[in-house]
Structure 1
Amino acid sequence: MLPALSRRRALLAAGGAAAGALVPGPARASGTFPVLRPGSAGEAGLGRDALAALDDVITARTGPGPDAAFPGAVLLVARGGVVAKHTAYGHAQTHRGEVPLRHPRPMRPETLVDVASCTKVLATTASVMALVDDGAVSLDAPVARWIPDVPEAVTVRRLLTHTAGLWEWQPTYLWAVTPEDAVSHVTGLPLRYGVGDGRHYSDLGFMLLGEVVRRASGRSLSAYARRRVHRRLGMVNTAFRPRRGGVAATSLGNRTERRMIGTEEPYPVLGDRGVEDFEGWREHTLVGEVNDGNSAYAFHGVAGHAGLFTTARDIAVFAQTLANGGGYGHRRVFAGPTVDEFTSDAFHSGQGLGFWTHRFDGIAGLGEGGVGHSGFTGVEFAVDRGDGLVVVLLTNRLHPRLPAASVDPAWRAVREGVGEALARTG
């Protein structure tokens, strides 16, 4: 017999009419949830001129100019289900290796992007949410229930909140050639911090969460996320190891990680292996291959911390689902109480269960809401669940070569522009 809350979550996940009354968020008619649709700035309650001015914000940072931060970008802004802006800028690929392309590939609204650490929420956290709803995972259960070598004090909740004491990063591929080897390597490392001793953002923690999803569901993270979440939401362009074309390029090989290993900055490398002990370094421009080395090498492209490719619209669909309290169109994917719990602060302000919170904090006109995440490749997204405001910025900042510029100034300018658009409706 499932506990009462688990039974309620199971009912909600099934989409029962009685359960629907428990869902927070926008009102819906005929048992359906709001879905994204194209519309005008006015329909979205946004100022037209202020929204249009976002083009200048992005184009000023696109291309080869002195202020350029990335070759290309896609920006999507929606509110109340109305997509008021979905625009592509610049190029998805300008070089092959060190050689400029004669005809650079343009960035398009439907271009696939390696979303790096946004995988943590769009695939791994989403899968854990579904497993919690289905009664297969308890947030306060020890991870050792599924991965025996993990210390008993480490719970699923601790991994989701980066408070499990694990190392932030290690190059597992220096020792591991399979996902199983990589998980064993991670569990064999000593904890860097005490469990619960502060928040320390950890890729390794989400590698373990991906393995929890696999063992709890009986399917790979890729297969479970696709079947249980992405297909139900119509996120048809979201996948690990994408098979279709139209993918934005990222870096030239893995030079960042080679430097990290060689210098042991910002993290010391545990063990007696170094750059020269690995023979698999990629030297070509990465297109359709995950940029992250741990995901690419040890996890073969499917990992809990990185590896997902998707589009701005698919991210916006997921964000709208959070705003809706767990449903989209005629489908309920997550229980309302589950969405509430995962998108609220847990242990530390700004950190929910997997999600980052307060992503609009400090931006005039946007309040303190905003739930989402970022990705190393130059990806940012946030949704204000109360207002239904969705902002997605995808860039290919690692292309064509390093060092790469930060996307932070562009992301802040976008949020400030959206705040101004909210203040100048009409």
Structure 2
Amino acid sequence: MAARTPWFDLNECTGHRDAAGDAPMTLDTYHDLASVTKVVATTTMLMRLVSERLVDLDAPLSAYLSRSYEAITVRDLLLHRGGLWEWWPLYIQPQLPPPRYRPGRARHYSDLGFVLLGRIVAAVTGLRLDRALAELVTRPLGLTSTTYAGPAGAEVATSALDDRVEMTMLDTGRPYPVPYRSTDFAGWRTEPIAGQVADGNAHHAFGGVAGHAGLFSTVPDLLRYATALSRYEEYDHLWRPEVAREFFAPGPDPEQALGFRRYELDLAGESVTVLGHPGHVGCAVGFVPGRDVALALASNRLLVEGQPASTDLLWDDLLQATARRSRTE
């Protein structure tokens, strides 16, 4: 984990990047970002496209996609208020199911919403999502170690022991009661997963390139990304500052901005808002707009037998460590 602030830098690196415990973790190890993809890729690309007036946050999805979603807007999906199912095994049934909830009524965190947002980016740019990411985010921000579908280097952390998490979700119907079982799919991975995205939909249905998951990156690149977002006004050649501020503002749910999650933190005796996102495999990124504060967490928490520590818990440890250090510097 790492933090960059005006007062101090924080770096801590321990553990191993493989299941056998033979290869040590380093700050330059590549990690499966999982849902951190939702902000580093999809949200940031949309922030650029909105700035260029190519996407309207309040337009219905049907303005960009052939399928009719008249009651759901781009803003709804970024706020996780689109009413879509939280998750669905698209490698078994490729057709997205009808909404599970009434759109706009309440926040229901949804991978499917970001699958659709990724499709909107591709439709508007006319590019495959990985090419759009390079054009809109990674190349302009100098993120040389951030890529879809696989790591850019050989030193990659194992993401998961196998596909057991999704097999268990299907066989128990928890946390989402989808009408399928693990026996309905024949392509399960049974060996440790390294260099492939762990997320089943991203890997099995989309070849590693999707709006909700698929990115790999390193701690230095995550810090570079977070630093750029914290200094967003210096990047007005990429996005309009007023659009960035709209993306950063709280929505109907105070903990959720447009794409970004919001965390309150006492930093150097002042209450600030950290914007960011965690990922299932064990990574997270965050920044404080206008304050030159960047945070990054990268772990492979799933490489344990039994119940692993949650990413939210690991992320809170970094937030609190940063808060404590800020009070002593």
For 1:130-173, what per-residue CA distance to the aligned partner results, in whole angstroms no more than 9, with x for missing partners? 11122211111111112132320111101111101100011111
Aligned partner of 1:212 in structure 2 is 120
Question: What's the secondary structure of 2:140's corresponding residue?
Answer: helix
Give runs of aligned pairs for residues 219-258 of structure 1, distance below 5 A.
Answer: 219-242=127-150, 243-258=152-167
Q: Are the structure 2 counterparts of residues 398 and 274 from structure 1 closer, same or farther at C-alpha, using a change threshold of 3 Å?
A: same
Match 1:94 to one of 16, 19, 42: 19
Aligned-pair CA distance for 1:401:
4.3
| Cα distance between partner residues in 2 of 1:366 and 1:206 | 33
Aligned partner of 2:241 in structure 1 is 336
Aligned-pair CA distance for 1:83:
6.9
Aligned-pair CA distance for 1:346:
1.6
Question: What's the secondary structure of 2:23's corresponding residue?
Answer: strand
Question: What's the secondary structure of 1:267's corresponding residue?
Answer: coil
Structure 2 contact 280–311 (Cα < 8 Å) conserved: no
Question: What's the secondary structure of 1:105's corresponding residue?
Answer: coil
Aligned partner of 2:36 in structure 1 is 118
Letter in 2 for 1:321: A
Letter in 2 for 1:171: P
Match 2:93 to one of 175, 181, 184: 175
Structure 1 contact 251–401 (Cα < 8 Å) conserved: no
Question: What's the secondary structure of 2:4's corresponding residue?
Answer: strand
| Cα distance between partner residues in 2 of 1:373 and 1:340 | 17
Question: What's the secondary structure of 2:294's corresponding residue?
Answer: strand
Q: What runs of 5+ residues in structure 1 fail to find an aligned partner?
A: 1-74, 96-100, 177-184
Q: Are the structure 2 counterparts of residues 286 and 365 from structure 1 closer, same or farther at C-alpha, using a change threshold of 3 Å?
A: farther
Aligned partner of 2:277 in structure 1 is 373
Aligned-pair CA distance for 1:402:
4.7
Aligned partner of 2:187 in structure 1 is 280
Question: What's the secondary structure of 1:367's corresponding residue?
Answer: strand
Question: What's the secondary structure of 2:154's corresponding residue?
Answer: coil
Q: Are the structure 2 counterparts of residues 238 and 404 from structure 1 closer, same or farther at C-alpha, using a change threshold of 3 Å?
A: same
Question: What's the secondary structure of 2:207's corresponding residue?
Answer: coil
Aligned partner of 1:64 in structure 2 is none
Identical-pair percentage: 36
Match 1:392 to one of 292, 296, 300: 296
Q: Does 1:413 align with 2:317?
A: yes
Structure 1 contact 233–318 (Cα < 8 Å) conserved: yes
TM-score of the two chains, using structure 2 as the length reference: 0.94
Aligned partner of 1:318 in structure 2 is 225
Letter in 2 for 1:210: G
| Cα distance between partner residues in 1 of 2:147 and 2:270 | 31
Structure 2 contact 268–327 (Cα < 8 Å) conserved: no
TM-score of the two chains, using structure 1 as the length reference: 0.73
Q: Are the structure 2 counterparts of residues 151 and 372 from structure 1 closer, same or farther at C-alpha, using a change threshold of 3 Å?
A: same
| Cα distance between partner residues in 1 of 2:160 and 2:188 | 13
Aligned partner of 1:142 in structure 2 is 60
Question: What's the secondary structure of 2:107's corresponding residue?
Answer: coil
Aligned partner of 2:201 in structure 1 is 294
Letter in 2 for 1:408: D
Aligned partner of 1:77 in structure 2 is 3
Aligned-pair CA distance for 1:175:
2.2
Q: Are the structure 2 counterparts of residues 169 and 326 from structure 1 closer, same or farther at C-alpha, using a change threshold of 3 Å?
A: farther
Structure 1 contact 116–375 (Cα < 8 Å) conserved: yes
Aligned-pair CA distance for 1:420:
1.7
Q: Are the structure 2 counterparts of residues 363 and 281 from structure 1 closer, same or farther at C-alpha, using a change threshold of 3 Å?
A: farther
Bigger Rg over Cα: 1
Aligned-pair CA distance for 1:347:
2.0
| Cα distance between partner residues in 1 of 2:264 and 2:156 | 29
Structure 1 contact 252–401 (Cα < 8 Å) conserved: no
The number of residues matched between the two structures is 328
| Cα distance between partner residues in 2 of 1:220 and 1:421 | 42
| Cα distance between partner residues in 2 of 1:389 and 1:400 | 32
Q: Are the structure 2 counterparts of residues 197 and 211 from structure 1 closer, same or farther at C-alpha, using a change threshold of 3 Å?
A: same
| Cα distance between partner residues in 1 of 2:166 and 2:32 | 17
Letter in 1 for 2:256: Q
For 1:31-68, what per-residue CA distance to the aligned partner results, in whole angstroms no more than 9, with x for missing partners? xxxxxxxxxxxxxxxxxxxxxxxxxxxxxxxxxxxxxx
Question: What's the secondary structure of 1:421's corresponding residue?
Answer: helix
Aligned-pair CA distance for 1:383:
1.2
Question: What's the secondary structure of 1:149's corresponding residue?
Answer: coil
Aligned-pair CA distance for 1:332:
3.2
Structure 2 contact 32–216 (Cα < 8 Å) conserved: yes
Aligned-pair CA distance for 1:126:
0.8
Aligned partner of 2:174 in structure 1 is 265
Structure 2 contact 13–27 (Cα < 8 Å) conserved: yes
Question: What's the secondary structure of 1:123's corresponding residue?
Answer: helix
